[in-house]
Amino acid sequence: MRLVTIDDIRSAAEALRGVAVRTPLLRFDDGLMLKPESLQPVGAFKIRGAYHALSRLAPEVRARGVVAYSSGNHAQAVAYAARLFGVPATIVVPDNAPAVKVEATRAHGAEVVQVPMAQREQRAYELVEERGATLVPPFDHPDVIAGQGTIGLEVVADLPDVEVVLVPVSGGGLISGVATAVKALRPSAKVVGVEPELAADAAASLHAGELVRWPAANRERTIADGLRAQPSELTFAHIREYVDDIVTVSEAEIAAAVGRLARQARLVVEPSGAVTTAAYLKAPTAKTVAVISGGNVDPEVFAALT
Amino acid sequence: MRLVTIDDIRSAAEALRGVAVRTPLLRFDDGLMLKPESLQPVGAFKIRGAYHALSRLAPEVRARGVVAYSSGNHAQAVAYAARLFGVPATIVVPDNAPAVKVEATRAHGAEVVQVPMAQREQRAYELVEERGATLVPPFDHPDVIAGQGTIGLEVVADLPDVEVVLVPVSGGGLISGVATAVKALRPSAKVVGVEPELAADAAASLHAGELVRWPAANRERTIADGLRAQPSELTFAHIREYVDDIVTVSEAEIAAAVGRLARQARLVVEPSGAVTTAAYLKAPTAKTVAVISGGNVDPEVFAALT
């Protein structure tokens, strides 16, 4: 299996210039710097992978439009990127998706198709067939991984003597890209994934040396709603190659980290984005960077955590 | 009166490299970009002016320490800057200052002296006499103004065709520096100050063409607790020279802007920092930058506004 390379990531960084925010590292305390991807357009790192994937399509292919199935940050990112390219986006969401997320996706100019949860994937593939559109997967694609990897380039550029990089793990696209970049530029730095205890399938997989599947019902218990997916063969291959460890945090630790980030770093962070800070607070290390993956949290949930 | 120059501000930018965060411009909507100074160390732009002022002291003078009287962001900034230089800082705060702010100042390594509100200034000058320390004023000093002006340099560098820059006004140090930089580099851009209606003494002064004083009891009515000071002769001279207008926003508009910034920009912003977004939302303009001055807000106040 061909893994993404540092050259792929450098090329993605060129494509993303002026589109993704060059997020600064923010000092949290003596040991920790934050990489606040919550400040990206659409409020999450997902814009990097989605925009890069669209940029790699041939213009005549891209013009036929793109499709994504997601109710979360990836959908918004695909919609936002499609608008920048002036091509149609269709987002398939479950019919029980919160109205606020559906509205946000429409606000980016995308067509929203609501179907029962179990039919999402199938309906997305039908749309691809019917329209000649291109599916943009949330993590299982080299162009998406390379886009997310630009975060790793920036981390090492801004903190050349970084020792630990903490990255949230869900489907594994983010950590695959970041780990590829960090290990290429600063091999001695550790790249450590963080998962909720309640959705720790990637940690189990890394420790087992093979993909371990958890039932969706188990993974859906965590408040970190962006971390319920599972790695693919492609992302797991990157994780095995480049990731030093995957650690877990409890629901209470995640909640406490959301509050600390609001008060001490003045950031609105979603629970999924706070897991890396939670891991640091549990076991602080020097010269550490926590990737804050996103900031899309329901105001009521946020208020309850802060 | 000698006004601060663009060269003073460029020199300040050199001094601040690696100390102040190079805050990015964040897209809020089609017309507005945010300059989130809430992401600075100590949570406010004040670190720029305070650190630059300390950097300009002769080493043997600086070694005798610095003094500030403030219970707000300036005190934290002086304490933080003094720690970076390894010199003592003494902060005089009113004896009714919130415990949380006193603790935060101590956490930066400063000595905190609590006195009755009316004796703050006098006690600060006594400390200067007794210890040979240097007073770092919150706005009434060219080095402080030049430090704040580095925000204007960054705004024009990141958005060369900026048309409107919105800046909160209290003592006027921030807008004096920003307006000096913006008018030097992009003379056609408008620099517009924003004040709460309940503390609109600078707007009244600009419109009258001379400093108009409002009683402190009036200015203290606004929730924007960082905007209760009044311009000095020095800052007002900059405002008359470079600022196009000063507009006002209501308490309800400020509160609504805090909520919008949390949800739409994922930023924890204090009411004083939200006045510029409030002004934009009231009367949107194209290619506009709102300086978000700070993010130090009591969690209870923030929760009530979001």
Q: How confident is the model at residue A36 (pLDDT cuts 50, 70, 90)?
A: very high
A285-296 pLDDT per residue, tens: 999 999 999 999
Same-fold call for A6-44+141-305 versus A48-135: yes
A263-283 pLDDT per residue, tens: 999 999 999 999 999 999 999
B197-220 pLDDT per residue, tens: 999 999 999 999 999 999 888 888
Question: Does the domain spanning B6-43+141-305 belong to CATH 3.90.79.10?
Answer: no
* pLDDT for the residue numbered A267: 98
A190 is catalytic: no
Distance CA B238, CA B11 (A): 19
> Which of the residue ranges A134-148, A191-205, A208-222, B52-66 would you say has the lowest mean pLDDT?
A208-222
Question: Does the domain spanning B48-135 belong to CATH 3.40.50.1100?
Answer: yes
- The domain limits of chain B are 6-43+141-305, 48-135
Query: Does the distance separating the beta carbons of B39 and A36 come in below 8 Å?
Result: yes
**Residue A83 CB coordination number (10 Å):** 15
Query: Does the distance separating the beta carbons of B22 and A24 come in below 8 Å?
Result: yes
What CATH number has the domain spanning A6-44+141-305? Answer: 3.40.50.1100
E runs forming strands in chain B: 26-27, 32-36, 66-69, 89-94, 111-115, 134-135, 164-168, 190-196, 245-249, 288-292
Chain A residues within 8 angstroms (CB to CB) of chain B: 21-24, 26-27, 36, 38-39, 41, 43, 259, 262-263, 265-269, 295-296, 299, 302-303, 306
Distance CA B191, CA B219 (A): 23
CA atoms in the 13 A half-sphere facing the CB of B248: 15
A297-306 pLDDT per residue, tens: 988 889 888 8
Beta carbons of B72 and B270 less than 8 angstroms apart: no
A138 against B102, higher pLDDT = A138
Q: Is B17 exposed, middle or buried (0-12, 13-18, 19+ CB in 10 A)?
A: exposed
Distance CA A120, CA A255 (A): 30
Distance CA B236, CA A178 (A): 49
Average pLDDT along chain A: 95
- Residue A260 predicted with pLDDT over 90: yes
Q: How far is A107 from chain B (nearest CA, A)?
A: 11
Strands B89-94 vs B111-115: parallel, antiparallel or unpaired: parallel
- Residue A216 predicted with pLDDT over 90: no
A chain contacts of residue B299, beta-carbon cutoff 8 Å:
259, 262-263, 306
A51-91 pLDDT per residue, tens: 999 999 999 999 999 999 987 899 999 999 999 999 999 99
Q: For every residue of A231-291, which 3-state class applies, written as one string?
A: CCHHHHHHHHHHCCEEEEECHHHHHHHHHHHHHHHCECCCHHHHHHHHHHHHCCCCCEEEE
Instruction: List per-residue pLDDT tens for chain B, 306 residues long.
Output: 899 999 999 999 999 999 999 999 999 999 999 999 999 999 999 999 999 999 999 999 999 999 999 878 999 999 999 999 999 999 998 888 778 778 888 988 999 999 998 898 899 999 999 999 999 999 999 999 999 999 999 999 999 999 999 999 999 999 999 999 999 999 999 999 999 999 999 999 999 999 999 988 888 899 999 998 999 999 999 999 999 999 999 999 999 999 999 999 999 999 999 999 999 999 999 999 999 999 999 888 898 888
Written as six digits, the tokens of A273 are 């984005």
E runs forming strands in chain A: 26-27, 32-36, 66-69, 89-94, 111-115, 134-135, 164-168, 190-196, 245-249, 288-292
